[in-house]
Structure 1
């Protein structure tokens, strides 16, 4: 049995780990930690988790944990992932894996040195839909590719204390949402895009409330955007144009909640869906495979370094102010 401990009494954890773990017989959530013992105990009781801890260090020192799910703000990801590795734990870390590419390199190097796995939680990547889309691209049926358009928008309005809007905690539309389209473009093309230009609209705390970028992958132009402004609809489309036709997915991030794949080849349109379980079930498959078989997964080291590199380049092109380096932000772990 692979034993998982959760860092942070996070709202995403039931959907991402706790509930899908109950559908398995090889992996179980056995502990949760919060900086507040009462909060941790209440969370554990609510979600039927056997053990709770009033500090992250206590959980990480436990010999009864194999994998740590880091469900903290991005500003805390590097710090506590490194501590987890130092205590011999594998890591499933929420996206974005770190605050910038410099931190991502440090984390990837630490994982390699430890012989342990750090997996960035791009759960959607492990769903069969991602593989199907890549197959369409590789098959050549679209002809020479010319453009990609993709975005992720969700209504995450500002309120005081909202970590999604605080730059120092890793807030911003690109960090919270746009990291997905960046990953989709990279996964589909199998190449690293060049950032041509970017613009943003700042929110109340100075983080990007919305952002738009123009990228290129060889001769393929890419329009990428993200927004968490109040009232924007939930949408996660991905569209590719080629000389012979197009393919479009209307919900690439949560396909298990409903999606359509529409291809138009030489004027003939076809719409289908790709069957499968929840994306989070496939993500736990990847975690189990990494731990049990020591196999490197698709969203480990080199992949998350490359993704953060593109995010950094978009922010630079847009002129978005970035937080201070980790050394001055968190101090020693």
Structure 2
């Protein structure tokens, strides 16, 4: 298989391909560094180090569930669920709001579902990068933040029983 998303040597797998964003979102919404309390993985039969599906539970003052997958059925998805004292926020497919997405807010009295249109996030990322390079605009997410999120992803791999990608050991 020549798909680069299936190469351990290239630090591939569902969590590395689309899964970075969900743990980062959990850190952002939770306001602190969560701990990984469980992680379940489905790997490719032909490549047992490559995660096709990853689910992880994170805890801090609330809890977050990370679910990422690539290929097959169910269709590729990325979702985040954050639960607090007064309710729950579920986000489905926030990486491709131009295709399909859902934001569900469950409070003590009701449930609200919203769909907010938008352009591909890559477009916004490219515009922010361009502004930083050409006009000196502030970088929204710096290198240190990325290092902390990657440490969390390494923890997810370890709890799931897989080695971290690259030099994460």
Provide structure 2 residue ranges, at least 5 long, that are not aligned to the other structure.
none
1:257 to 1:216, Cα distance in 2 relative to 1, 3 A: same
Aligned residues: 166
Q: How much does 1:209 deviate?
A: 2.3
Q: Which one of 80, 94, 105 corresponds to residue 263 of structure 1?
A: 105
Map of 1:230 onto structure 2: 72
Q: Does 1:249 align with 2:96?
A: no
TM-score, scaled to structure 1: 0.44
The 2-side partners of 1:264 and 1:323 are apart by 36
Q: Distance in 2 between matches of 1:227 and 1:260?
A: 17
Partners of 2:69 and 2:77 within 8 A in 1: no
Asked if the contact 1:163/1:171 (under 8 Å) is kept, the reply is: yes
Select the structure that is richer in strand: 2
Alignment partner, residue 144 of structure 2 = 302
**The residue matched to 2:75 in structure 1 has which SS?**
coil
Rg larger for: 1
Does the Cα contact within 8 Å between 2:64 and 2:80 map onto a contact in 1? no
The answer to whether structure 1 residue 210 and structure 2 residue 68 are counterparts is: no
What stretches of structure 1 move > 6 A for 4+ residues in a row? none
Instruction: Name the CA shift for 1:272/1:209 in 2 (closer, same or farther; >3 Å).
Output: closer
State yes or no: 1:173 paired with 2:19.
no
RMSD value over aligned CA atoms?
Answer: 2.5
C-alpha deviations, 1:221-255, integer Å up to 9, x for none? Answer: 22223222532223333333333333333321111
Does the residue aligned with 1:178 lie in a helix, a strand or coil?
Answer: coil
Greater share of helix: 1
SS at match of 2:139: coil
SS of 2:156's equivalent in the other structure is: helix
